[in-house]
C-alpha cells in the first residue's frame, strides 16, 4: 500500500484529528467551500485518506443539513478513527471560529461606532447580495435542468418568499415531495 | 432567561433546515433573527463578518447573535443548537444505514432543488435596500468577481469594505452637492 506509506509513522488519533481541524478552521477564511478542499489535501499529505475517498465522503455530507465543513469533518473522522475521532473533529471545527467571533464581536462593540468602521461594514455588507447571486449562477450552471426541476425550484422559492414564518414545514414537505417525484420519474423512464 | 431559551429554540430550528451549505441558510437565518435581534443593516454586516472570519457561516452567525444577546453562555448554546440536529441526524444515519436503503441519487437531486430554492429566497431576503449608487456598484462588482473568477469571495468583501471606508464619504459628499 504505497499511498499509505506515512500511515505507519503518524496514524490518525483523536488528538491529531482535533488539532488538524482546529488549525484548518482557525486560518481558513471563507466558509465550507474553502475549508473542504484544504482538508482534502491535508488528509492526503498525511497519508490518511486519498482525495477521491475524501470527496466521496463530502458527497455524502451534502445530504445532511448543517455546515458542510462540520459534516465532512465528522464523517471523515468517523471513518478514520471511529466515534472518538468524530467527537474530537467536532470540537476542532467548533472551537476556533467560536473564539474568533467572540473576539471580533468585542472589537465591534468598542470600535463599531467609528465612521470609518461603519463605512467599512456598509461596503462589506453591500457585496453580500452579489455573492449570493454568484452562488446561484454557479450552481444553476452545474445543475441538470429538466421541466420538473425548474417547476419545483420556482414553486419552492415562491412559497419560501411568501411564507417566511413557515420555512421549516415548507422545506421538509417540499424536499420530501421532490424525493418522491425523483423516484417516480425514474421508475417511469425505465 | 426567556431570550436564552428563544435563541436555543430558534437556532435548533435553523439547524434542521440548513441544507446546502452556508449561502442557502442565510435567508432562513434572516427570517428568524431580523428584526427580533438585529436590524436589517446590522444583519448584512454580520454576514459579511461571518464570511470573513474563520469557520462555517451558520455557526458564526449563531455565535455572534448569542454573544450580543446574552454573553458567553448564550453564544455557546446558540452555536451548539445550530449543529445539534445535523449531528444527531448523522449519528442516526450512520447507525441506520445498515437497515434502511434510500435512493441516494434521488436524495441528492431533491436536496439540490431545495438548496437552489433556498438560495433564491436568500437573494430575495437580502436584495439591496440602499439607494447609494456606490454600494450598488460594489455589489455588482462582487457578483462579477465571484461568478466569473476563481478569486476567494473574501477579497471581494474586504476590498469593498476598504473602498467604501476610504472613498465612501467623499462620494456621498459629491452626490450630496450635486443634487
Does the pLDDT value for residue B178 go beyond 60? Answer: no
Does B81 lie in the same domain as B162? no
pLDDT for the residue A151: 93
Domain termination residue (choose one: B88, B106, B127): B127
Does the pLDDT value for residue A179 go beyond 70? Answer: yes
- Asked if B142's CB is within 8 angstroms of A127's CB, the reply is yes
ipTM rounded to 2 decimals: 0.81
Does the pLDDT value for residue A62 go beyond 80? Answer: yes
Does B105 lie in the same domain as B142? no
Q: Is B85 within 8 Å of B15 (Cβ atoms)?
A: yes
User: Three-state SS for B16?
Assistant: helix
Does B97 lie in the same domain as B27? yes
Q: Among B56, B79, B104, whose Cβ lies nearest the Cβ of A31?
A: B56
Radius of gyration of chain A (CA): 21
What's the whole-number average pLDDT of chain B? 85
Domain termination residue (choose one: B86, B109, B127): B127
Instruction: Calculate the CA dihedral of residues B45, B49, B55, B58 and round it to 10 degrees.
Output: -10
Q: Among B67, B117, B126, whose Cβ lies nearest the Cβ of A102?
A: B67
- Asked if B57's CB is within 8 angstroms of A31's CB, the reply is yes
H/E element holding A170?
helix A167-189
- Residues in A closer than 8 angstroms to B163, CB to CB, are 123
Mean pLDDT, rounded, for B60-83: 91
Helices and strands per DSSP (H, E), number in chain A: 8, 0
pLDDT for the residue A8: 53
Does B54 lie in the same domain as B10? yes
Share of chain A above pLDDT 70, in %: 94
Q: Is A43 within 8 Å of A49 (Cβ atoms)?
A: yes
- Asked if B126's CB is within 8 angstroms of A132's CB, the reply is yes
Q: Which three cell numbers stand for residue B22?
A: 452556508
Is the CB of B5 inside 8 Å of chain A's CB atoms?
no
- Asked if B79's CB is within 8 angstroms of A29's CB, the reply is no
Q: Shortest CA distance to A161 belongs to which of B20, B42, B82, B30?
A: B30
Mean pLDDT, rounded, for A98-111: 89
- Asked if B49's CB is within 8 angstroms of A104's CB, the reply is yes
**Count: domains in chain B:** 2
Min Cα–Cα distance to chain B from A80, Å? 14
Q: Is A143 within 8 Å of B116 (Cβ atoms)?
A: yes
- Asked if A120's CB is within 8 angstroms of B55's CB, the reply is no
CB–CB contacts below 8 A, A to B:
324
- Asked if B110's CB is within 8 angstroms of A179's CB, the reply is yes
H/E element holding B62?
helix B57-68
Beta bridge partners of A29: B54
Place of cell 509513522: A9
Residue-range domain boundaries for chain A? 2-114, 125-189
- Asked if B90's CB is within 8 angstroms of A75's CB, the reply is yes
pLDDT tens for residues A16-42?
999 999 999 888 776 777 788 889 989
Mean pLDDT, rounded, for B149-165: 86
Share of chain A above pLDDT 90, in %: 40
The number of angstroms, rounded, from the C-alpha of B7 to the middle of its chain's C-alpha atoms is 16
Using CA coordinates, name the residue in chain A closest to B107: A179
pLDDT tens for residues A140-170?
998 888 888 999 999 999 999 999 888 889 9
- Domain that residue B142 falls in: 130-179
Q: Among B45, B75, B141, whose Cβ lies nearest the Cβ of A125?
A: B45
Does B104 lie in the same domain as B156? no
Mean pLDDT, rounded, for B63-69: 90
Is the CB of B174 inside 8 Å of chain A's CB atoms?
no
Domain termination residue (choose one: B111, B127, B143): B127
Residue A1 confidence class, pLDDT cut points 50, 70, 90: very low
Q: Which three cell numbers stand for residue A155?
A: 414553486
Does the pLDDT value for residue A5 go beyond 80? Answer: no
Widest distance between CA atoms in chain B: 71
What's the Cα-to-Cα distance from B120 to each of A100, A142, B39, B125, rounded to whole Å? 29, 16, 21, 9
Does the pLDDT value for residue B118 go beyond 80? Answer: yes
Does B141 lie in the same domain as B110? no
pLDDT for the residue A159: 94
Does the pLDDT value for residue B61 go beyond 60? Answer: yes
Mean pLDDT, rounded, for B124-137: 84
Mean pLDDT, rounded, for B153-165: 87
Instruction: Name A178's Cβ contacts closer than 8 Å, sequence gap at least 6.
Output: A152, B109, B110, B113, B114
Amino acid at each position: 500500500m504505497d499511498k499509505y506509506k506515512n500511515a505507519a509513522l503518524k496514524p490518525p488519533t483523536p488528538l491529531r484529528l482535533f488539532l488538524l481541524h482546529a488549525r484548518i478552521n482557525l486560518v481558513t477564511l471563507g466558509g465550507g467551500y474553502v475549508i473542504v478542499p484544504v482538508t482534502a489535501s491535508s488528509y492526503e499529505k498525511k497519508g490518511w485518506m486519498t482525495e477521491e475517498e475524501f470527496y466521496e465522503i463530502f458527497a455524502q455530507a451534502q445530504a445532511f443539513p448543517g455546515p458542510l465543513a462540520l459534516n465532512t469533518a465528522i464523517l471523515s473522522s468517523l471513518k478514520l478513527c471511529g466515534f472518538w475521532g468524530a467527537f474530537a473533529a467536532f470540537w476542532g471545527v467548533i472551537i476556533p471560529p467560536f473564539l474568533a467571533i467572540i473576539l471580533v464581536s468585542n472589537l465591534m462593540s468598542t470600535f463599531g461606532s467609528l465612521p470609518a468602521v461603519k463605512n467599512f461594514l456598509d461596503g462589506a455588507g453591500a457585496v453580500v447580495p452579489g455573492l449570493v447571486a454568484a452562488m446561484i449562477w454557479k450552481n444553476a450552471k452545474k445543475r441538470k435542468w429538466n421541466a420538473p426541476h425548474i417547476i419545483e425550484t420556482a414553486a419552492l422559492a415562491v412559497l419560501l418568499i411568501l411564507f417566511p414564518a413557515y420555512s421549516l414545514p415548507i422545506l421538509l414537505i417540499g424536499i420530501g415531495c421532490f424525493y418522491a417525484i425523483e423516484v417516480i420519474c425514474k421508475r417511469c423512464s425505465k | 432567561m426567556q431570550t436564552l431559551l428563544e435563541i436555543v429554540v430558534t437556532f435548533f430550528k435553523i439547524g434542521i433546515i440548513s441544507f446546502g451549505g452556508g449561502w442557502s441558510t442565510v435567508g432562513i437565518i434572516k427570517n428568524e433573527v431580523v428584526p427580533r435581534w438585529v436590524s436589517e443593516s446590522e444583519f448584512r454586516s454580520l454576514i459579511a463578518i461571518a464570511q470573513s472570519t474563520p469557520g462555517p457561516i451558520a455557526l458564526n452567525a449563531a455565535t455572534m447573535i448569542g454573544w450580543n444577546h446574552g454573553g458567553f453562555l448564550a453564544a455557546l448554546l446558540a452555536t451548539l443548537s445550530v449543529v445539534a440536529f445535523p449531528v444527531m441526524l448523522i449519528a442516526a444515519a450512520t447507525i441506520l444505514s445498515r437497515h434502511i436503503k434510500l435512493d441516494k441519487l434521488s436524495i441528492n437531486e431533491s436536496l439540490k432543488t431545495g438548496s437552489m430554492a433556498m438560495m433564491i429566497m436568500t437573494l430575495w431576503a437580502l436584495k439591496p435596500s440602499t439607494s447609494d449608487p456606490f454600494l450598488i456598484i460594489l455589489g455588482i462588482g462582487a457578483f462579477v468577481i465571484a461568478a466569473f473568477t476563481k478569486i476567494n469571495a473574501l477579497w471581494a468583501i474586504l476590498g469593498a469594505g476598504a473602498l467604501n471606508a476610504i472613498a465612501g464619504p467623499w462620494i456621498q459628499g459629491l452626490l450630496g452637492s450635486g443634487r
